[in-house]
Amino acid sequence: MGEALLRHHEYTNADEGAFRDFSCGEDGPWSERLNQHLPEDALDHAREGLNTTLVFYENTPEGAGIGFAALCCTSVENRHEKSPEADPLVAEADFDQIPAMLLGFLAVREGYQGRGYGEIMLDVIKAMALDLKIGCRFIVVDVQRENKRARQFYERHGFWRPKYYRPLKWFYDVKKSAASAEPPSKTTEDGS
Ligand SMILES: CC(C)(COP(=O)(O)OP(=O)(O)OC[C@H]1O[C@@H](n2cnc3c(N)ncnc32)[C@H](O)[C@@H]1OP(=O)(O)O)[C@@H](O)C(=O)NCCC(=O)NCCS
């Protein structure tokens, strides 16, 4: 197994310096919310139990803070009864709501994008969803229609957009994808 390229942990005020100048670019209206998450919201959200923000660093002694992901619980309506012919979220479940993890934000520092770091971060999140000791069938992410690069990114990593669902919502099936998934080896949790 190769040396981990990134390390990660939950964001605290000790990380503020490393992420003070963080920007994932100014591609569109979504960038502003992403860029303000760490300085303005992440700690409050954590205190209030609304979101957990993971921060990722290059795995070197002075490694730069290169990205973050914000995660929380959610649920999605089980639409199978309404649209059994469309790709079903959960084929047989007699549940109104299906438990899921919401990937609220995923951002890589401008200048570090396109080097595979987003994929490594997403692998960590997929493994976390699979390891949760409570039911979690999907990872759900909202992607703005205009954010074509992000849509391509998620699509390439196993996410799909159900036709009958809100157009912004993309899903990753944690259980169905588990059999083929490789455990993440390119990042390590601090202290583990
Ligand atoms: C989307 C994002 C997290 C992907 O991370 P990344 O480290 O650039 O991703 P990877 O290097 O693993 O993969 C790059 C691929 O993602 C796509 N991509 C999405 N946004 C990109 C960007 N700004 N720069 C380069 N590639 C981008 C490309 O299709 C690229 O494909 P390619 O390798 O064939 O060129 C990152 O680019 C980013 O922070 N973008 C701005 C914020 C955003 O849109 N977040 C998603 C919505 S929550």
Q: What is the extent of the structural domain holding 100?
A: 6-181
Going from the Cα of 116 to the center of ligand 1, the distance in angstroms, rounded, reads: 8
- Tally of structural domains, the chain: 1
Helices marked H in the chain: 16-19, 29-36, 42-47, 117-131, 148-156, 174-178
Q: Are 146 and 123 in contact (CB under 8 A)?
A: no
Percent above pLDDT 90 for the chain: 67
Q: Which residue type sits at 177?
A: S
- Please, what sign has the CA dihedral across residues 7, 8, 13, 18? positive
24 CA → ligand 1 middle, Å: 10
The atom of ligand 1 lying closest to the CA of 106 is 48
CA-nearest residue for atom 16, ligand 1, is: 153
* 170, 161 Cβ separation under 8 angstroms: yes
- Closest ligand 1 atom, CA of 115? 11
Q: Does pLDDT of 171 surpass 50?
A: yes
- Interval between CA 110 and ligand 1 midpoint (Å): 10
| Position 113 in a domain | yes
Does some domain include residue 40?
Answer: yes
Residue 158 in domain = yes
Write down the pLDDT at residue 80.
61
Please report whether residue 191 resides in a domain.
no
In a domain, 71, yes or no: yes
Residue 192 lies in a domain: no
Instruction: Report how far ligand 1's centroid is from the alpha carbon of 112 (Å).
Output: 9
Residue 1 is predicted with a pLDDT of: 43
Per-residue pLDDT at 185 exceeds 70: no
In a domain, 1, yes or no: no
144 within some domain: yes
pLDDT at 175: 87
Tens of pLDDT along 108-147? 999 999 999 999 999 999 999 999 999 999 999 999 888 9
CATH code of 172's domain? 3.40.630.30
